[in-house]
Amino acid sequence: MAGGLQGCKTFFINGGYGIKPMNDDVFTYLIGGKAGQGTKKAGIVAANFFSALKRNVFQMNDYPSLIRGGHNFSLVSTATRKIYSQYMKADLAVLLDQRSYTIHRDHLTENGVLVYDSTAVKQGQGIGLPIASLAKNYADPDLIVGVTGIAVLAAVVGADRAKLDTLIQKEYRRSAEDNLKFAHEIYDEAEKKITQRFELREGKETHPILAGAETIGLGASAAGLDLYFAYPMTPSTPILHFLAAQAKQLGVVTVQPENEIAVANMAIGAAFTGARSMVGTSGGGFCLMQEAFSLAGMVEALVVFFLGQRPGPSTGVPTYSEQGELLFSLYPGQGEFPRIVASPGSIEEAFYVAAELLDLAWRFQTPAILLSEKHLTESSMNVDLDIEKIRAAAPDMHTSGIYQRYRQTETGVSPLLFPPSDAMIKWNSYEHDEQGYTSEEADVIARMHVKRRTKQESLIRYLREKVQTVNEYGTGDPCVFTFGSTTMSVREAVLHAGLSCTVVQPIYLQPFPSWNLMKYVGRKAVVVEQNCTGQLEQLLREKTGITPISSIRQFNGRPFNPVDLAEQLRKVIG
């Protein structure tokens, strides 16, 4: 074994695929149970535990759209290197009910350990612990089982009881005493029965574990967000909840109006006062915002729209992930006006992209869309955020002379003024003259069209010169094109299997950064995306002529498993 991994378990989930094991130390923890049994919390606690060992983590929560019952599970993969995805096969699986057991009993790595509740599961294979019957002696038996996950994990990785106690006191503050007592019972049982132990090597440095919803909220507030408007809709809701919880600390006000139409129109009204505003929604809500989106284009309002994708069409599958709204996001709203769309390729990048979009919306006075997916907003990983890179969203302000809201300028961007002001500031949804008065004059209509088109040209120039619009990782052929959260899956697959290829991720999708992509024309290309019809592929072909030799698509609501994805990529790479 190379690289000083002695004493640490090295294992390879993909044994069956015949991929040569790499120098890697990924460990995956899975906890499954009914909604209400605290599996997500148990995942978070495990992630924190790994992070305290200075290891990196990636956590994904899988849950159906219901509040109690059903089947929830949380997957936490950890490594000493940076890790960009959960793995679907676990080294340790803790399964709290029959359904979880049935679903996940085979989702184990070669040496994986399975612990299940022997009260709930009859004749299980693995290590049965009488979890539910032990829990009966406690005030809230349903709730207390959540702590099982961490007690078993502690036993399996050889953490002593003192360490377990500290962890529980920190993480399970509510009825800590009961939790401690119950955890000890489980820990002792597990100690007795588990023979396989994993030793987790300590990593080098640690960074906070944040979900995409948090990095988006933080990025936007770093760039100057003042007001966030949203009507609850998964997967954008966690941003609302995060900002609402941190409202005081971040100086952001959150507002939940009566529907998405009110959301978007209120945000435009707030922008009129100079308050930096953002809205959050998912596909259905964004449909309701179309008219206001177009209004923002016409009045030249500066609002960022967060669009979180889940499987569609229509109500679709609320709590799962998909990238089916790429093409929808490119031209929302009626009429011709500049639109900006960007989609972050990692939880970390979401921080910078959210900030940058706020800046761009204000710089060019036009609506911008932050396009993402459930997989990004609700998964979490360690992030190293450099706050010094964030620029405050600062508009071009009017300084002297007679004020005209829609003054013609070289860039098409008219300087701003906010009320109260001695000058008259009219924003107008009808076509308007420079002053903001309604107009139906032929020359005014044409002039204003040209103004907006000029603004679009300035925006493109700015993106070309000043903004990183495409990411490239690795070298060699083929070029693997992807976008959004699928970028994380692709990067992890490449790392996992040690593949040689160039991952190309357009961050900006509108205006489409063809200027940065033309250089890939003629190279062997593969497109990986999470939708059924190949929307990125269509866009690439249309804008650059790049035609892939192969496309890899997954559209079952689940993010890619890096092991399967690596295998598919390997077939293409040959």
Partner 1 sequence: MADELTTPAENTWCPGCGNFGILNAFKKAIPKLEQHGIDRKHLVISAGIGCHGKIFDYVPLSGLYSLHGRSMATVQGIKLGNPDLKVLTFAGDGDAFGEGISHMIFAAKRNADITVIVHNNGTYALTTGQFSPTSGKGFKGPSLPSGNVEEPLNPLSLMLEAGASFVARGYAGRIDHLADLIVEAVLHEGFSYIDVLQPSVVFNNTYKEYNALVEIIEKPAGRLEDAVQLAKRFDRLPIGVLYKVSKPVYHKELYGKWNPAVNRLMHEERKRRIATYLSERLQK
Site for partner 1 contains 164 (CB under 8 A): no
Least distance from partner 1 to the Cβ atom of residue 226, Å: 4
Give residues 427-466 in contact with partner 1 (rule: CB under 8 A).
427-430, 435, 437-438
| Token pair in block for residue 78 | 């950890």
Query: In whole angstroms, how far apart are CA 485 and each of 62, 83, 325, 473?
Result: 16, 13, 13, 15
Site for partner 1 contains 317 (CB under 8 A): no
Judge contact between 383 and 208, C-beta under 8 A: yes
Judge contact between 486 and 371, C-beta under 8 A: no
Site for partner 1 contains 407 (CB under 8 A): no
Site for partner 1 contains 418 (CB under 8 A): yes
Site for partner 1 contains 421 (CB under 8 A): yes
Angle at 320 between CA 315 and CA 325, to 5 degrees: 60
Residue 334: closest CA among 277, 296, 303: 296
Site for partner 1 contains 532 (CB under 8 A): no
Residue 154: closest CA among 130, 190, 182, 178: 190
In our burial notation (b when 16+ CB lie closer than 10 A, e otherwise), range 312-323 reads: beeebbbbbbbb
Site for partner 1 contains 249 (CB under 8 A): yes
Indicate which single residue of 271, 353, 361, 490 sits in contact with partner 1 (rule: CB under 8 A).
271
Site for partner 1 contains 255 (CB under 8 A): yes
Site for partner 1 contains 299 (CB under 8 A): yes
Indicate the residue among 273 and 556 with the shorter CB distance to partner 1.
273
Site for partner 1 contains 522 (CB under 8 A): no
Please state, in angstroms and rounded to a whole number, the distance separating the CA atoms of residues 311 and 290: 20
Indicate the residue among 310 and 405 with the shorter CB distance to partner 1.
405
Site for partner 1 contains 273 (CB under 8 A): yes
Site for partner 1 contains 290 (CB under 8 A): no
Select the span of 139-147, 231-239, 253-261, 323-331 touching partner 1 (CB under 8 A).
253-261
Residue 342: closest CA among 328, 362, 356: 356
Least distance from partner 1 to the Cβ atom of residue 277, Å: 7
Please state, in angstroms and rounded to a whole number, the distance separating the CA atoms of residues 548 and 481: 9
Indicate which single residue of 34, 71, 104, 276 sits in contact with partner 1 (rule: CB under 8 A).
276
* Three-state secondary structure call for residue 33: strand
Site for partner 1 contains 268 (CB under 8 A): yes
Indicate which single residue of 39, 85, 221, 282 sits in contact with partner 1 (rule: CB under 8 A).
221
CB atoms within 10 A of CB 177: 9
Indicate the residue among 201 and 276 with the shorter CB distance to partner 1.
276
What is the sign of the dihedral through the CA atoms of 76, 79, 80 and 85?
negative
Residues in the chain: 574
Indicate which single residue of 5, 103, 165, 272 sits in contact with partner 1 (rule: CB under 8 A).
272
Contact residues toward partner 1 (CB under 8 A) are 48, 51-52, 206-210, 218, 221-222, 224, 226-227, 229, 246, 249-251, 253, 255, 257-259, 261-262, 265-277, 291-292, 295, 299, 385, 387-388, 390, 392, 418-430, 435, 437-438
